[in-house]
Amino acid sequence: MTEAATEAATERHRTTVGPDAYRRLMGAFPTGVAVVTTLSGDIPYGFTCTSLCSVSLSPPMLLVCVSDRGRTAGPIADSGRFAVNLLHHRARPAARLFAAEERERFARVRWAPAGVDGLPMLTDDALAFAACRVTHTVPAGDHRVIFGAVTEVRFAAPGAGASTASPGDDTTVRPATRPIPPSPLLYGFRRFTAWPEATDG
């Protein structure tokens, strides 16, 4: 195939799908919700992530997709490490907080350094926590794909606490009167929801 023919074929297959249609498509694919965190010096950074995928079992490896426009991509690249906080079904406030343009995110949730690298773990909101070391990154449109070797995994105890939020935030869920085993938080059709068997207390 000549160079001109190749260019013509590429042009024919170039996407004409707009951002809104693409969001609707991916919104029809519900997925789990995580908050990806890292440290730059002593400053914590994080964002809500639904673009998380298992890559390899041996060695354990996963990937996350990070927006180049966000504030967390640079600190992850600089530090070479990040953590994945898988959120439980009572952590909607944290999911919304870390998805918003809010600079003081970590002042509104409980977190603690965890693991050898002391990465931020959302102590009230995480169903599970994985510490990762960056192995490599791949540019992809307006995002970058970051591959991480999983170095440590932790799981929350049953009856994990409810998320914190600012006073008057009607999304805050009060702690249950009896322990409820943590269940994953899901996102689809542009809303957060619980795993079907889970209750909100």
**Confidence at residue 141, expressed as pLDDT on a 0 to 100 scale:** 87
pTM comes to: 0.77
Retrieve residue 18's tokens.
């707009």
Residue 52's contacts (CB-CB under 8 Å, 6 or more residues apart) are 31, 32, 34, 36, 62, 63, 64, 84
Query: What integer pLDDT is reported at residue 138 of this predicted model?
Result: 94
CA dihedral 158, 127, 132, 78 (to 10 degrees): -130
pLDDT tens digits for the chain (201 residues)? 555 555 555 555 566 778 778 677 766 667 899 999 999 999 999 999 999 999 999 999 999 999 998 899 999 999 999 999 999 999 999 999 999 987 789 999 999 999 899 999 999 999 999 999 999 999 988 899 999 999 999 998 654 444 443 333 333 333 434 455 678 999 988 888 887 765 544
Cβ neighbours of 72 (radius 10 Å): 22
Sequence letter at residue 126: A
Helix (H) or strand (E) holding 108: none
Dist. CA 170–CA 102, nearest whole Å: 18
Residue 164: CA atoms inside 13 Å, Cβ hemisphere, count? 11
Residues sharing a CB contact under 8 Å with residue 177, sequence separation 6 or more, in sequence order: 201
What is the number of other CB atoms lying within 10 angstroms of the CB of residue 74? 14
What is the reported pLDDT for 170?
Answer: 33
